[in-house]
């Protein structure tokens, strides 16, 4: 039985190294700067979702800032009655990526949506007043 001790110790040590590398920096927020003039800030977070279920913005030209705190690609579009509004399409490919653009919206209720197939859970309400 004593001959198994070095093997078990090696396996346990290797497992701890692998597990510690899995966590890595994924629990910390990537380094990016949110523009001070952003009228709407949306972040993608782990588990393929937005950081909020509801957002608000002021009617008119809205500067939208998208940050990717997740590890997969996302494409943000704005929907009204299941149709894309305007030509805003913000794309973040990997963790730490950001994108921004401007969209003109009248007062009303919209949806912040990820148009990538399989990301349908990334569907939040945007109330513009």
Taking domain 29-128, whether its CATH number is 3.40.50.170 is answered by no
**Would you kindly state where each structural domain of the chain is located, as residue ranges?**
29-128
pLDDT tens-digit profile of 108-128?
999 999 999 999 999 999 999
pLDDT tens-digit profile of 14-64?
444 333 333 334 557 788 999 999 999 999 999 999 999 999 999 999 999
Q: Where would I find the beta strands (DSSP E) of the chain? A: 40-45, 49-50, 54-57, 60-68, 74-80, 83-84, 90-92, 98-105, 108-114, 123-128
CA-CA distance, 3 to 58, in Å (whole number)? 70
């Amino acid at each position: 039985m004593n001959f198994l001790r070095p093997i078990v110790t090696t396996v346990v040590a290797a497992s701890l190294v692998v597990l510690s590398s899995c966590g890595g920096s994924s629990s910390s927020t990537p380094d990016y700067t949110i523009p001070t003039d952003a009228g709407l800030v949306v972040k993608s977070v782990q588990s393929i979702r937005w950081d909020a279920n509801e957002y608000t913005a002021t009617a008119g030209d809205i500067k939208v800032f998208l940050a990717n705190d997740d590890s997969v690609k996302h494409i943000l579009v704005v929907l009204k009655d299941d149709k894309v509004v305007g030509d805003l399409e913000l794309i973040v490919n990997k963790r730490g990526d950001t994108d921004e653009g401007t969209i003109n919206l009248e007062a009303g209720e919209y949806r912040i949506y990820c148009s990538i197939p399989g990301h349908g859970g990334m569907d939040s309400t945007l109330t513009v007043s």
